[in-house]
Amino acid sequence: MKPIRLFACLLLFSTLALPQHKSQHTPHKKTAKKASASHPQANSALAIHQSALIIDTHADTPQRFLDENFDLGQNTPVSEGHIDLDKIKKGNLGAEFFSIWVEPEFKGQYSKRAMDLIDSVYQQAARHPDKMTMAFSADDIVRAQQEHKFAALMGIEGGHAIENDLRLLRDFYRVGVRYMTLTWSNTNEWADSSGDIQNPNVKHHNGMTDFGKDVVREMNRLGMIVDISHVSDATFYQALLISQAPVIASHSSSRELTNAPRNMTDDMLRAMTNNGGVVMVNFYSAFIDENYRKASYDPEKTKVRDAEVEAFKKEHAHPDGSPVSYNEYAFIEKRWAAQFPRPPLKSLIDHIDHVAQVAGIDHVGLGSDFDGVTSLPEGIDSTADLPKITQALLHRGYTREQIQKILGGNFLRAMREVEATAKRLQTERKASDSLSFEDIELMVGNRVGATLLVDRIVQHGVNFPLTPGLRDRLKSEFKSEKDAEQVLDAIAKAKRK
Ligand SMILES: [Zn+2]
């Protein structure tokens, strides 16, 4: 890790020298002078920013839509919200992934909560058809930009939302969800989270269960992006091994710079390069600034805050028994966070820079976590301030082309690859039409779970008769007798083609 720091420092020195260097070698002095009436740097930063397709991959605004009846057409003070249509326009934000964050407190009604949040995003698009549109693909995002409309997309935050059911996963894809974080801060029944990995009272799985791996496979086949933000390190590496398409971190920063467990180590960043994925840097002060993190995670102080939150929840319990949502007590968290000085904008840019150096310029992007965090770096109060990031990157010596990759180009490329992989997986299966005995054996060997296997068998049929010999052979390859019976039963009943 040390040599990388040194390397980064050297690079930093060389990039700091860059702007000066550039002006010395400006090839068209006359045109440069003409264009630069007052601030040449600012002018070109603005030009780059305004011409870019800017995609932010994580904002928690849907809770505001649903729980506060907030409308994007309202101009809200930044103390209340980071996103509205006016701020979107000022920041030239082209597309936002609205987070369908299902609080673990909603146990027993995860999918209902998710569907309510999904509906709230559609409602916003329906209310502002002249300014925004729903989008479901990379092409949709580009088309929206051409029509000068803001594109709204959706990603589920917390794999527990699918209630351990691949059918629900498919339903979420059908209603437009295009990524899912395998976990939120809570370990679910099939994947470990970084949020509770140290908690001995939580049942962990050493990463993912076989069903968890099936979830990743089915997401690949559907074209839903696998999002590894929030997951434990073991879950991360397993997801990368299984996934046939690039994965993303929709809102994660660097652990080398800021030691939060849900940030990504340099080794993870390099693994993302090999995978072709993209790491979208989270703007939250405690994820981008070590001083802020240390101050705000002081256990004695957080105890006081947590007690206040618990007292509020008790006092404001809903008569129908539904849980008090985060949004209702967010003011306590915000007030508490405000006691710590905001980190400088430089901290955020350092993280973008670090991911660009370690993972590569093609693997970094923006995942603000707007409307989901209680503190942002100085100067970044809302989406309206996004141009400041472009300006800061330009000052560090990033080129126009590189900046446009960071602002959205990289994510768009990864989304296209996910779409292409899904298309390939779906046609490959169609081409071979029905499953051979070897196909099924291979899936058993790859530890594809019984549910997914049965799914595939019902969908595609088989091209072989289940002789007693084949039956015994397959049975011996299963660990669980119950799974074997389930699959053999499906083969016996399947269409023969
Ligand atoms: Zn999150």
Query: Distance, CA 196 to ligand 1 centroid (Å)?
Result: 14
Query: Distance, CA 273 to ligand 1 centroid (Å)?
Result: 22
Q: What is the pLDDT of residue 215?
A: 97
For residue range 226-280, what is the model confidence (pLDDT) as tens digits? 999 999 999 999 999 999 999 999 999 999 999 999 999 999 999 999 999 999 9
What is the Cα 364 distance to its own chain's centre? Answer: 12
Query: Distance, CA 261 to ligand 1 centroid (Å)?
Result: 13
Torsion on CA atoms 237, 240, 243, 244, rounded to nearest 10: -150
C-alpha–C-alpha distance, residues 458 and 480, integer Å? 20
Q: What is the pLDDT of residue 86?
A: 97
Q: What is the pLDDT of residue 43?
A: 54
Are the C-beta atoms of 153 and 96 separated by less than 8 Å?
yes
For residue range 26-64, what is the model confidence (pLDDT) as tens digits? 334 333 334 444 455 545 899 999 999 999 999 999 999
> What mean pLDDT comes out for the span 354-363?
98
| Strand runs labelled E in 339-497 | 364-366
Are the C-beta atoms of 56 and 383 separated by less than 8 Å?
yes
Query: Distance, CA 99 to ligand 1 centroid (Å)?
Result: 8
The pTM for the full model equals: 0.84
> What mean pLDDT comes out for the span 481-495?
92
Ranking 40-44, 272-276, 322-326, 359-363 by mean pLDDT, the lowest is 40-44
C-alpha–C-alpha distance, residues 300 and 297, integer Å? 9
Query: How many CA within 13 A on the CB side of residue 115?
Result: 11
Q: What is the pLDDT of residue 41?
A: 52
DSSP string of 269-338, one letter each residue: HHHHHHHT-EEEEP--HHHH-HHHHHHHT-HHHHHHHHHHHHHHHHHT--TT-PPPPHHHHHHHHHHHHT
Percentage of the chain modeled with pLDDT above 70: 91
Tokens of 278: 């993209």
Query: Distance, CA 378 to ligand 1 centroid (Å)?
Result: 21
Query: Distance, CA 252 to ligand 1 centroid (Å)?
Result: 8
> What mean pLDDT comes out for the span 327-349?
90
Q: How far lies 127's CA from each of 28, 70, 263, 462, in Å?
A: 48, 12, 37, 48
Mean pLDDT across the chain? 89
Query: Distance, CA 366 to ligand 1 centroid (Å)?
Result: 13
Q: Is pLDDT above 90 for 219?
A: yes
353/480: higher pLDDT: 353
For residue range 120-175, what is the model confidence (pLDDT) as tens digits? 999 999 999 999 999 999 999 999 999 999 999 999 999 999 999 999 999 999 99
Q: What is the CA radius of gyration of the chain?
A: 24
Percentage of the chain modeled with pLDDT above 90: 71
C-alpha–C-alpha distance, residues 389 and 393, integer Å? 6
C-alpha–C-alpha distance, residues 482 and 453, integer Å? 13
Q: What is the pLDDT of residue 457?
A: 92
For residue range 374-412, what is the model confidence (pLDDT) as tens digits? 999 999 999 999 999 999 999 999 999 999 999 999 999
Q: What is the pLDDT of residue 280?
A: 98
Q: What angle do CA 350, 352, 354 make, to 5 degrees?
A: 65
Q: What is the pLDDT of residue 382?
A: 97
Query: Distance, CA 324 to ligand 1 centroid (Å)?
Result: 19
C-alpha–C-alpha distance, residues 221 and 441, integer Å? 19
Query: Distance, CA 132 to ligand 1 centroid (Å)?
Result: 24
